[in-house]
Amino acid sequence: MAQKALLASVLGAASVAAHGFVETITVNGQTHENYNPGTFPYMDNPPAVPGWTADFPDLGFVEPAAAGDPDIICHRSATPGQSHIPVNAGDTLTLQWSPWPESHKGPIIDYLANCHGDCTTADKTSLEFFKIAEQGLITPGDPTTAVWAADKLIADGEIWEVTIPEDIAPGSYVLRHEILALHSGSQPNGAQFYPQCINLEVSGSGSAEPSGVPGTSLYTAEDPGVLFNVWVAVDSYPIPGPPLYNARKARRHAKDIKA
- Burial degree of 217 (CB within 10 A; 0-12, 13-18, 19+): middle
The single-letter code of the amino acid at 6 is L
Q: Does the structure show a pLDDT above 70 at 248?
A: no
Q: Does the structure show a pLDDT above 90 at 207?
A: yes
Going by the DSSP 8-state scheme, the letter that residue 245 receives in this structure is P
Q: Are 97 and 210 in contact (CB under 8 A)?
A: no
For residue 48, count other CB atoms closer than 10 A to its CB. Answer: 12
Q: How confident is the model at residue 60 (pLDDT cuts 50, 70, 90)?
A: confident
Q: Are 245 and 162 in contact (CB under 8 A)?
A: no
Q: How confident is the model at residue 250 (pLDDT cuts 50, 70, 90)?
A: very low
What are the sequence ranges of the domains in the chain? 18-258
Phi, psi angle pair for 192, to nearest 5°: -135, 120
Q: Any alpha helices (H) in 104-232, and if so which ranges? A: 149-155
The CATH number fitting domain 18-258, selected from 3.30.1300.10, 2.40.50.320, 2.70.50.70, 3.40.50.261: 2.70.50.70
pLDDT tens string 106-139: 999 999 999 999 999 999 999 999 999 999 999 9
**Buried residues in 219-229 as b, exposed as e (16+ CB within 10 A):** bebebebbbbe
pLDDT tens string 69-119: 999 999 999 999 999 999 999 999 999 999 999 999 999 999 999 999 999
Q: Are 237 and 228 in contact (CB under 8 A)?
A: yes
Spatial distance between the Cα atoms of 41 and 54, rounded to a whole number of angstroms: 10
Q: Are 176 and 73 in contact (CB under 8 A)?
A: yes
Spatial distance between the Cα atoms of 76 and 79, rounded to a whole number of angstroms: 9
Which residues neighbour 66 within 8 Å (Cβ) at sequence distance 6 or greater? 72
* pTM of the entire predicted model: 0.89
Phi, psi angle pair for 196, to nearest 5°: -130, 135
pLDDT tens string 215-235: 999 999 999 999 999 999 999
